[in-house]
A and B are shown apart, each in its own frame.
Chain A
């Protein structure tokens, strides 16, 4: 027999629970509405509305990106009538988001663009400027390992990301130096901290000198650094670079020109005043290591333009040569038509 008092109490409990659940549902809906980014596009009556443009960085903000932040905070973009929204992700490459049209511009790499253009479903992207003129990456190792040349890789452990291109870099370098590439052990440790990796399992790693190399200097951690292009000039590919999608090229090339003009100005400022540039990176990403940022900008001031006539310009030979290298080493299935992959048309002389 169901106790009348108990059932009354239980119906109060049910009512309470129902009320609680209803409250939760209402709160969820209310919060979800505020979660939809209602960006206030408030435009002053005297100004022309700014053209909204979306840029996706390849990674969290670092000194490869400083030119964008300089252009943003010094209002070079607004002077070109652009409202640039800079998004960051830890994805490591912006290519797919730019290809899909979700983003107008992105930071990517020559090896990515080459693979994307020669894939069975080629991506509609094009490289429009090189952020650094020459490849600043190479193989680093603590001096204690005595790896001074590619032949010294023999019998050593490489700590990397497990991609085929890393293996091909090592093979190419070792063959050039007359060593047997089979004698290297490959370890995937996703080593973003090379110092920890060197302590434990890896003997050498692939780094961009501008960040990890500079950090080693700051730490007084002596490393041997073998730059890819020093051993084989075919490996002087453009990295990183800026890409856009072909849809934007066809529908609004003027926006690309304006974006590039302002961005070029930003990167040129990085060359002329690295300390100032560092402050803009810190403004965008205040939690960045300030000392590393400053030292890195100081190193990169010689790399943004380097020996080129202006910032961003690329030459077809380097696209062709590296594309050929990728094809010969089985990294891409079709040969690259370099003219499809990049253009200097959007850089203002």
Chain B
């Protein structure tokens, strides 16, 4: 699951709400709006909010609101989908790619044009691609897995620098999108392209769910609740996700 080949990047900057990762290959960031994950090194003594040993007072409310998508989610939360439900999973942080950029490694030395085609340049001056340029992407943290449960809120601490970043599998995307709490995090982010991120990640999840139209409707309903004061914005997003 955590093989080298799957790594899409390595975290080089991290904060509570987002992290920046350097891409493994130049010009090959994970797609805009895609779901990524990274290991989270939680201090075992840290007060991780974990309600699993208590009665969850909101359990019923959630299940009635999230409808059928919730079943995936609860399966993971309850550990019932895991054969070895007794053992803990690795704590993980989940994020959505909201920006990527290719820039010079040394920001004080702007890139100059070479007026050659890409192939010639790569042959004659390979260092340009290997040492001068770098592709980085930023991802908004939407959820984390404490090891025993997936929580759709920010983790107690950011991921460590130099942690590998991997793309999420469709199964993971289905579980993450079985509840839509992360949409609030995305819509309320100060990011200028927030609507595009929301639309892109819904499209991504739609594909991971094999084109389940009901999912689009459920996501739209969640957005309609979040954006009830801004119908134009809702319309703009829905136009971007319409199949």
Same assembly: no
A contact residues vs B (CB 8 Å cutoff): none
B contact residues vs A (CB 8 Å cutoff): none
